[in-house]
């Protein structure tokens, strides 16, 4: 059987129960720190329980999905734990997203309550959507009677992650408690060491947010929240010096910028974790040369397997591999297969990467057809063949003789920009809504080699300029999906099979393909 399973037999638990164990062991330790506030584990546990009691009173029950429109903060951490304690699952929406997108996702969640911070409240007030603020929760829960909280199974949904949809609409991935706790409870995918401190800067709707927050709160560490949208070298240096930061997650694109500029800002960290795209061997080599005492990891995994499915500690030898930096070995509780036509292939052969185990998502919210297409059974080969449930990633890869995964690209049109998984169809659907009959979104690197989205579209019937089209797209798409450039064409160049000739389009506007 071409699979590897690590950590089976490790007791499964819920996120909030695992947090509660840590809070009882380290009540006075800093859990979440912001620029103006430090919250201890004891304070966070008490606040979370008060919020949970109030949410039960508002109708949150096991199976409820509670939207949260907010930015990173200690208050957000308390709200998320409160939702989990009440038996619900949380879906965090970025307060910067366009109001129309937020409204659509809120409708899909069908929640009895919507929680917000000040930035989220401003967004929803403008859209006329009812909500309850963190401040209101704090004011009404203090002094209320204790409420019995429900027992929650580790198999229950804990969080929703949003990923771009091939049908033109975002998909909500339902991730269970066990998917998170398999990574961050004892015997997880890495040893964070004594009193780790993680810089908490990931986008709230992304699974890297879970990595930064729960890796700390389930291990007795401290999450230091970054307030600004971008994490730049001066801030990293300050967090290491003033907050004692030990761990940092970076997308490979940001890592490239830092490696090519102020690489010294990382000095003092224990470990840097990369994920969301393929790391540059040149940047990794430069980092290892500059910081031989800092651990460098590459993590691979779609949100359907929560944060990481495989992890590899990068060595100097890896930077010389013709196949690039390895994706690594499976993390605890994860089964890894390489399949073709629904059956596993021998090691060394390339096929589609399929992921199973306790990290597997429960499917997509309100999307049974998409769920059944992506979550399937595959047949293993070998002495004990069996049918195993997996998520078919659409990624290509191979397992070497040691069981290490090597990534080999995509089998479809999906692209990665700054760690975000993007379906071009969602961007193309947005320009079609403006009246364009035909379009294609392509990832085209700039002069530094960094990929960016370029959109080619037949001009909409209504008279708008390319720049106006780009601004209109900002009203419906999150910032990371807005094309860097829009080009109008009178008609699309086609191949003999009537598909759009992407190479000719790129060349017409001076892009190398």
Measured CA to CA in angstroms, residue 93 lies from 76, 88, 98 at distances of 12, 16, 10
The pLDDT value recorded for residue 145 is: 54
The pLDDT value recorded for residue 354 is: 96
Which CATH architecture best describes the domain 1-6+179-414? Answer: 3-Layer(aba) Sandwich (3.40)
The pLDDT value recorded for residue 141 is: 44
Is 52 in contact with 19 (CB distance < 8 Å)? no
The Cα–Cα gap between 353 and 341 comes to: 12
Report, as ranges of residue numbers, the positions in the chain whose pLDDT lies below 70: 1-11, 139-145, 165-168, 412, 463, 495-499, 512-513
The pLDDT value recorded for residue 73 is: 95
Decide: helix, strand or coil at residue 28. Answer: coil
Q: Where are the domains of the chain?
A: 1-6+179-414, 423-508
Is 314 in contact with 272 (CB distance < 8 Å)? no
Structure tokens at 4: 């590897």
Summarize pLDDT for 491-507 with one digit per residue, the tens: 888 765 556 788 888 88
User: Beta-strand (E) ranges in 6-56?
Assistant: 30-33, 38-40
Summarize pLDDT for 338-351 with one digit per residue, the tens: 998 889 888 988 88
- Across the chain, which distance is largest between two alpha carbons, in Å? 72
Tokens 């700039």 belong to 446
Q: Which pTM was predicted? A: 0.82
The pLDDT value recorded for residue 418 is: 73
**From 3.40.50.360, 3.50.50.60, 3.90.1150.10, 3.30.300.30, which CATH number describes the 423-508 domain?**
3.30.300.30
The pLDDT value recorded for residue 509 is: 85
115-153 as b/e: b if 16+ CB within 10 A: bbbeebbebbeeeebebbbbeebbeebeeeeebebeebe
């Amino acid at each position: 059987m071409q699979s590897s399973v690590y950590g089976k037999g490790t007791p499964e638990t819920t996120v909030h129960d695992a947090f509660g164990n840590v809070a009882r062991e380290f009540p006075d330790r800093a859990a979440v720190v912001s620029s103006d506030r430090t919250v201890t584990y004891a304070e966070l546990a008490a606040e979370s329980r008060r919020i949970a009691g109030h949410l039960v009173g508002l109708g949150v029950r096991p199976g409820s999905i509670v939207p949260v429109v907010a930015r990173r903060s200690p208050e957000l951490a308390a709200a998320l734990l409160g939702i989990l304690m009440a038996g619900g699952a949380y879906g965090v929406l970025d307060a910067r997203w366009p109001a129309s997108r937020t409204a659509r996702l809120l409708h899909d969640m069908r929640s009895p309550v919507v929680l917000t911070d000040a930035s989220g409240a401003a967004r929803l007030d403008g859209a006329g959507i009812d909500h309850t603020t963190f401040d209101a929760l704090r004011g009404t829960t203090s002094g209320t009677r204790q409420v019995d909280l429900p027992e929650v199974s580790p198999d229950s949904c804990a969080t929703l992650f949003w990923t771009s949809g091939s049908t033109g609409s975002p998909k909500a991935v339902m991730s269970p408690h066990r998917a998170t706790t398999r990574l961050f409870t004892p015997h997880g995918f890495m040893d964070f060491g004594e009193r780790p401190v993680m810089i908490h800067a990931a986008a709230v709707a992304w699974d890297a947010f879970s990595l930064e927050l729960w890796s700390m709160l389930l291990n007795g560490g401290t999450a230091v929240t970054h307030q600004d949208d971008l994490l730049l070298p001066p801030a990293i240096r300050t967090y290491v010096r003033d907050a004692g930061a030990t761990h940092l997650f970076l997308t490979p694109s940001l890592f490239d910028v830092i490696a090519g500029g102020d690489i010294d800002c990382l000095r003092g960290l224990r470990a840097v974790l990369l994920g969301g795209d393929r790391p540059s061997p040149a940047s990794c080599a430069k980092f290892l040369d500059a910081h031989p005492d800092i651990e460098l990891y590459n993590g691979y995994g779609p949100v359907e397997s929560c944060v990481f499915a495989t992890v590899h500690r990068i060595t100097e030898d890896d930077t010389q591999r013709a196949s690039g930096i390895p994706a690594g070995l499976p993390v605890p509780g994860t089964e890894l297969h390489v399949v073709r036509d629904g059956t596993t292939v021998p090691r060394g052969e390339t096929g589609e990467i399929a992921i199973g185990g306790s990290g597997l998502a429960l499917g997509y919210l309100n999307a049974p057809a998409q769920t059944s297409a992506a979550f399937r059974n595959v047949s293993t080969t070998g002495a004990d063949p069996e049918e195993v449930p997996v998520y078919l990633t659409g990624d290509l890869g191979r397992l070497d003789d040691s069981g290490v995964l090597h990534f080999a690209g995509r089998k479809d049109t999906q692209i990665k920009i700054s760690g975000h998984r993007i379906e071009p169809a969602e961007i193309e659907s947005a320009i079609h809504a403006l009246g364009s009959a035909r379009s294609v979104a392509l990832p085209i690197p700039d002069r530094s080699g960094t990929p960016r989205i370029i959109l080619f579209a037949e001009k909409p019937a209504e008279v708008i300029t390319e720049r106006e089209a780009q601004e209109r797209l900002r009203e419906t798409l999150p910032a990371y999906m807005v094309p860097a450039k829009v080009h109008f064409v009178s008609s699309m160049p086609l191949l003999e099979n009537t598909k759009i000739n992407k190479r000719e389009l790129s060349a017409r506007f001076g892009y190398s393909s």
